[in-house]
Every structure is written in structure tokens, then in C-alpha cells.
Structure 1
Amino acid sequence: MAHETVGSNLSQAMEPGAIRPHGRHMDVVTCCHITSHLRVKMRMETRFSDVGNCIHLSAGQSPGKRVGVMDLSFEAESPLAPPAELLERLPSCDCLLQGDRCCRSWNPGCQIFFPPSEAPGRPQEQRCWSSFLEHRVPVVTEEVAREALLSFVDSKCCYGSAAAGDLVILELKQQVLRRYRLETFSESRISEWTFQPFTNHSVDGPQRGTSPRLWDIKVQVPPMFQEDTRKFQVPHSSLVKECHRCHGHGRYKCSSCHGAGTVRCPSCSRAKRRARPARRCQMCSGSGRQRCSTCSGRGNKTCATCKGEKKLLHFLQLVIVWKNSLFEFVSEHQLDCPGDLLAKARGETLFKDENTMVYPIVDFPLREISLASQRGIAEHSAALASRARVLQQRQTIELVPLTEVRYWYQGKTYVYYIYGTDHKVYVVDYPERYCCGCTII
């Protein structure tokens, strides 16, 4: 994915009033996380570029002991964090709080910043629900029930239509359900180190200014309640270092032939044929070896990490995630229809409230709806308050019709359900099903 660079005019310091006390979790630009990760790597097994020299540190080995360059044939592709001395050139990096731990011991001057909170919407006015409760959904008649089943059967290749046309409807049980739905559209920001091949272009490093903090960077917000993920390069956070994969050579030894350029011939069982020419192996002409197809006989390959450029441009990448969190509740019913179908069913909107922050419904005549509203808002608030910024909330109450249809066909009684305003059908058991294992929902 191509990275977008945010203009330098966005690198403004956060207002002092935005500073919060230590003790809450927030995703921000950090030096602490990278440094602690580097120290763990050095204790176990680390390879990094140190002023142009290739140094290999193993567990229990003295840092001053120099060893030869390792065979890179099986080296992992994952990049290492830049050395700590390079990170010190980025004074604008804030520390990343993980749980209740902070990097104050490493950087006593670091500060914790949280996303700016939006002002809540206006308090809910007292509503008169009588007009809402007078609303009724259309009644499902026998004709509508039969047409819904016929339409359902016609859409299935292994269901016969004779039963749907000849059945005798015995009973219709209708019920109107209330479905409460809360949507919370939020924005979260995290930073991560990434890299790309360095092609001798200008480097936007700390020498060009102070990097803006995560929540100071202005970006275009997508349409409300539409999820999206975008990545941006944090201004003035770039630095150049030797490629960790090839140690600055641009190429590395081929892992298939180990640098020889040839491999043993698989056609002649890896044995050199010295028989008469008529019986020599056609694949290797009796030499017992073939040109390596991985490296085309060169014995080495262009480094896939730096693309042969020998150096990498490391920079902090801002990852912005816009997410739509959903809370749903369907009122109780006595009919045996799966709840997941009712959650997805099309309903008729009875009430809709949308604002930056919505208030719980407290006076709805059906108490379980009011309790669901309070619970949903509390859950979203607790889940998002410390790690994301709420951009918009929307809560709705919908009427979802549900009808149980009992019918008789060839001496047996069957049942199916019609749900939603678009008359979707759920069949428990259908008498004319031609292939086994087709429980269609």
C-alpha cells in the first residue's frame, strides 16, 4: 500500500489542557515500545547494523566480540527496530502505554496523551411514546403466507413446489418483536515502525522539525458508519539504515544452491552418469548437476527486502481504523425461530436517534428496551473510552414481525416461519426435499 505523507503544517503541539494523568491506556506514537523490544532482542539473538559493521550478538555473548557475517540464506524477513541511539534523535515521540506500564524510567519527561473527546449530544427530552405504540405492521394473511413459501421454494433447486401449492394452512401465530440497535462509529490510532527500500531520495527526518503527535494529524474522515483503514507516514520520523537482510550488500546467497549456482540433478538420482553417450541423462548431459532455477545459476539473489538498494528507509507509520461497533437486542418471544435470523431481519423503524453521543432511552413502555439501551451505551463507552474517539452514535428501535405458520400436507403437520417486513422464510422441515443435508435458512 502506498503511504500518504501528512504535510508539515499539521505538526502542531497539543494544547496543555489535553494532557491526562498517567494510568489509562492510549495508542500514541512511541519510542518506549521499540526500545524495550530492541532490548529483548539483544538478550536473545539480535542482528543489527552498527555504524556499517555487521555484528552478531547471541545469548550470553559479549557485545564487544566480533564474529563473521552469518549465512543469510535462512535469515528471517521481519525487520528489526532501529538502534536506540537512532531513536534518541526523535524527541517528539510520545511513550506508548501498555496496560499500566510506562517508559518513565527510560524517559522521565514523557507525557501521556489521549484522544480529544467530543461534546455529548443534548439530553433527551421527554417523549410521548403513545404515537409510536399505535404504529402497526401489516398482518400476514394465508395468501401472503403461501406466496412467501412459494417464493422461497422457487429459489431453492432441491425443493419441490407441489407441497407449497397444495398445503392446508391450519394456524397463523403472529407476534411483533422490538429490536433495539446501537451503532457507535469510532476512530482509533496506533503507530508502528515500517520500512521501504531507500532510493536516495530526500529523507524527512527529525532534522526537519518535530513530528506531530498522533491526534494532531488531520485526515479526511470517511462517511459515518462506514468502516475503513488508512495508513500515513508520520512527518519527520524517517531514518536510513543498512538493510538487515543482506547487511548492505544488496544481494544474498541463494538458499537452494548455497551459492554454487548448480544443484544435483533429480532425474538421474543425483548420481553422475559416465556411461556411453546414448544412455547419458538427458537433463544434465551426464554431469550430475543442473543449473539452479532459483537464482538462474548466479549463486545469489537480489535482496527482496531492499530490492538491491542496500539501505532501508525506516519511518513511523500512523494506522487509523474507523470501526462501527454494533449492539443489538431483540425482545423476548415464544416462537421457535433462531435469534440470529431475527437480528438480521428487515424491520420497520419506530424510533431513531443520532448524535455525537446519544443518551440512554429511559422511558420506553417496554422496560427491557430501556434496559438494553442503557446497557449498550455503557458497554460501548467502557470499551472505547480509553483507546478510541467516538465520532457518531445512532440508536434505533424497530418493529420486526414474526409469524409461525402451521400447515397440513399428506397426513402430516409441518411448520415454517415468516420474519421481517420483506417476508423472509425459515423452514424447519419441508416435505418435498430431494437431496439430503439441505437445511436451507
Structure 2
Amino acid sequence: MMPVVPGYESLGPNVIPPSDLGPARFPAPCRAQERRFDIPAISEELAQEAFISYASSECCFSTKPAREMVFTDLRSLNTYRYLLETFTESRTKEWGGEPYNGQVVDDFREPPDPWSIPVPTPSLFQDCQKHIRIPHTSIIKGCHSCLSLGRSACRTCVNSGRTRCSSCGGSGRTEHDFCRSCQGSGMSRCHSCGGAGSVTCETCKGHGKLLCFITLKITWKNNIYVAVIDKGSGFPVKLLNQISGEKLLTDMAPKVYPVVSFPDSSVNAASESGVREHQAQFSTTCRILQQRQTIELIPITRVHYVWHEKTHVYFVYGAEHKVYSRDYPARCCCCSVL
């Protein structure tokens, strides 16, 4: 049983930040520029070049459709990605300890409040964790693992100092004669403890005592909310996770306000939902240090083409001009089965 430290009667869950570190007033609304953002469809030459490269990189794909196709339509699909990052700091208190070897024991006075302990903030929007010892919470306790003896029973020989002989398997004899390794006894000295039957306690390192104290675990986490405004084009938006787009807006503040007046109302709605969700989720359990919201326009071109009198569709997306085709018309049988 550990002593009760004033102000630290309950340990474990996140320490609720003081009210002055909780919800704050929103700054002025974030207004997008009053203009429409458009990326034109790529040219037929670029679309064909990307398609040929795609077919060449895929196993068992023939490049004939990409080289012989006839374009019927290329249409730009303005796809927006809204990203909200909320960088939070949470603090958890828990007991810790180390072997006691004569260290100076901190005076058992009233410890500081968990949120009053100054801790340098790491780089913004990067996950990080740190443990620090809370002042005035130290106490010397006997080691619970070895009952303050400094040694623990050997698990290999179960405190006996001897184990079954590995040469004869415990029989005392080999194929033609008695076992010379154990002299016929079937037992040999335990290699783990050297025959002592006990080993140095791993918890207290043989000292029999522990210096116990309360530690403050500080966790910085970048919490992400992302919404892709899909136009129902049939393109799998999960492919955009590793794709870069053109940044249209970046807004960073301790507390950001939802975006308003963006030409696409779905983006405004996504921003409103993301900001409110993060405020409700983090403002009472963590300290929100910084927020950043961005809007990206991701170029996607839907291409309709004809090959062997049949119409097909593929997409060219991202600044990297990647290709997605659900029904590439010329692949070998084994790929079709797979």
C-alpha cells in the first residue's frame, strides 16, 4: 500500500486542466477568399502518358488499350480535402520507483499541482511523451518483489539450485554408460543461479529497498480530423491519403474558428463539424495548445475512352498523376482470376 499524498489521492486518468486552460473564446471567423477554385482537366497527351505508365507498371497488363484508345471525354472533378489538426497536452499521474541506494529523499511536503509544473512544449503537431518526477512525493519502501531480501527465487530451478541434466535428460545414463556430466545423479547445478537457488532481485537490484515517487506522464498528441468532399464520381477517396494537393487555405491559432464563406458549402460544413467535434472531445480533458486547419484542392480527372468498341473509365489524380482503373480491359487470365 502506498501513502496518500495530498492533492494526489486518485491516480491514473487524465488530470483535468484548470478552467483557465480549458475552452477559450473563438477568434474571428476564418473567411475564405471570395473566388472560385478550379483546376482544369489534364490534356489528352498527359492522360495517355499517365495511363501507359500505369499499364507498364502493373503485372500482366498489356499497354495496347493505353496506346490505342480513343478519348471521348475528360472531365475535371474538383475534390476538396479539409484537415483539422488539434495539438493537445494531457497529464497523467502514477506511482513510479527505482532501487534505493542512498539517494537523497525529497522532503515530504505538499507537492505542486500537476498543471502548475512547468514543462517545455516540444515541436508543434508532433506526438511526444515525457515522464517527470513530481517534487515532494518521495518515500522509501521495502521491495515488494523480494520482500526486502534483495534476492528472489530462481525460476529455472525453483529455489533448489539444481536442474535436470541436459546430457542424459535426468536418467543418469547415456546410451552405453552412466552420465559423466551429472555423475549418474540425473541432476546438475543450475546455470541460471549458479546453484544458489536464488538470483538478484530485478526490481531493487539487490538493495531490498525502493525509492518510490509519483511521476507525471505528459503526452502531446496531434489529433486529426479529415474530410474529403466527394462528388459521387465513383473514385475511391481512400486513395487520396498519400496524395498531395494544392493548398488553398491554411489557418493556425490556439483556437481556430470554423471556415465560412468558402465557395463549396460542403467544406464549410466539414470545418464546422470538425472544430465543434474537437472542442467537445478535448477541451475538458486536455489542454489544447494549437490548432491548424487546411483546405486542399486535389486534381482528379475522369477519363472516358473507347477501345475495341467498348467504353471504359479511368481516373488520373493528384499532382503525381497517379491512375486508378477498375476495369482495365487487357489483362491476362491469371490476373483476372485474382
Whichever residue aligns with residue 162 of structure 1, its letter is T
Shift of 1:244: 0.4
Aligned to 2:272, which of 371, 374, 386? 374
Query: Would you say the 8 A contact 1:239–1:313 is kept in 2?
Result: yes
Quickly say closer, same or farther: Cα 1:368–1:281, change in 2 above 3 A.
Answer: same
> 1:104 matched to which residue of 2?
none
Q: State yes or no: 1:181 paired with 2:110.
A: no
Equivalent position of 2:178 in the other structure = 280
What secondary structure is seen at the aligned counterpart in 2 of 1:371?
Answer: helix
In the alignment, residue 162 of structure 2 is paired with which amino acid?
A: T
1:193-248 per-position Cα deviation (integer Å, ceiling 9, x unaligned): 11121121111241xx4321111111111122111111111111111101100011
Question: Counterpart of 1:279 in 2: which secondary structure?
Answer: coil
Q: Secondary structure at the match of 2:268?
A: helix
Matched, 1:339 2:247: no
1:327 lines up with 2:225 in the alignment: yes
Match of 2:284 in 1: 386
CA distance change for structure 1 residues 280 and 233 in 2, over 3 Å: closer, same or farther? same
8 Å Cα contact 1:408-1:414 kept in structure 2: yes
My pick for the range that moved more, 227-236 or 137-146, is 137-146
Task: Determine whether 1:315 maps to 2:193.
Answer: no
1:419 aligns with 2:317: yes
8 Å CA contact 2:81–2:298 kept in 1: the answer is yes
2:50 maps to which of 140, 148, 156: 148
User: Residue 148 of structure 1: SS of its match in structure 2?
Assistant: helix
Query: One-letter code of the match for 1:393?
Result: Q
In 1, the alpha carbon distance for the partners of 2:76 and 2:33 equals 26
Number of the residue aligned with 1:5: none
Q: Tell me what 1:348 maps to.
A: 246
Is contact 1:203-1:239 (8 Å) kept? yes
Q: Choose which of 9, 21, 25 in structure 2 pairs with 1:116.
A: 21
Moved more, 414-423 or 327-336: 414-423
Check the 8 A contact 1:150/1:161 in 2, yes or no: no
Q: Deviations over 1:137-168 (max 9, x none)?
A: 25312221223234445555x35563475241
Matches within 5 A, 1:244-323: 244-273=144-173, 279-281=177-179, 283-323=181-221
TM superposition score normalised by structure 2 = 0.86
Structure 2 residue ranges without an equivalent (≥5)? none
Corresponding position of 1:77: none
Aligned counterparts of 1:222 and 1:211: Cα–Cα separation in 2: 25
Aligned-partner SS, 2:259: coil
Task: Please report the RMSD computed on the Cα atoms of aligned residues, expressed in angstroms.
Answer: 3.1
Letter in 1 for 2:236: P
Residue identity in the other structure for 1:330: V
Offset at residue 412 of structure 1 (A): 6.0
SS of match in other structure, 1:256: coil
Structure 1 equivalent of residue 131 of structure 2: 231
91, 96, 112: which one aligns with 1:212: 112
- Partner of residue 200, structure 1: 102
Question: Partners of 1:167 and 1:192 in 2: how far apart?
Answer: 68
* Letter of the structure 2 residue corresponding to residue 217 of structure 1: I
In structure 2, the residue matched to 1:91 is 6
Once residues 376 and 211 of structure 1 are traced to their aligned partners in structure 2, the CA distance between those partners, rounded to angstroms, is 38
Q: Which amino acid aligns with 1:147?
A: E
Q: How far apart are the structure 2 equivalents of 1:357 and 1:270?
A: 71
Secondary structure at the residue paired with 2:146?
A: coil
Give 1:285 shift.
Answer: 3.8
Counterparts in 2 of 1:173 and 1:137: CA distance versus 1, 3 Å:
closer
Instruction: From the superposition, tell whether residues 254 and 334 of structure 1 become closer, same or farther in structure 2 (CA, over 3 Å).
Output: same
Deviation, structure 1 residue 301 = 0.9
- The one of 67, 92, 103 aligned to 1:166: 67
User: Is the 8 Å Cα contact of residues 32 and 259 (structure 2) preserved in structure 1?
Assistant: no
CA positional deviation for 1:323: 1.1
Q: Deviations over 1:227-278 (max 9, x none)?
A: 11111111111111011000111111112212221112254342233x9x95
Aligned-partner Cα distance in 1 for 2:219–2:56:
42
Q: Give the distance between the partners of 2:95 and 2:67, measured in 1 at CA.
A: 67
Instruction: Report the alpha carbon displacement of residue 411 of structure 1 after superposing the two structures with TM.
Output: 6.8
Name whichever structure is richer in strand by fraction: 2
Higher relative contact order structure (alpha carbons within 8 Å, sequence separation ≥ 6): 2
Equivalent residue for 1:190, pick from 89, 92, 102: 92
Is the CA contact 1:115–1:389 (under 8 Å) kept in the aligned structure 2?
Answer: no
Partners of 2:320 and 2:32 in 1: CA distance: 29
| Distance in 1 (alpha carbons) for counterparts of 2:171 and 2:307 | 76
Match 1:395 to one of 286, 289, 293: 293
Structure-2 change in CA distance of 1:437 and 1:303 (3 Å) = farther
CA contact (8 A) 1:261 1:296 kept: yes
Q: Which moved more, 1:390-399 or 1:356-365?
A: 356-365
SS in 2 for 1:336: coil
Do 1:416 and 1:426's aligned partners in 2 also have CA atoms closer than 8 Å?
yes
Distance in 1, matches of 2:12 and 2:200, equals 39
**What is the identity, as a one-letter code, of the residue corresponding to 2:104?**
S
- Return the letter of the residue paired with 2:230: E
Percent identity (aligned): 37
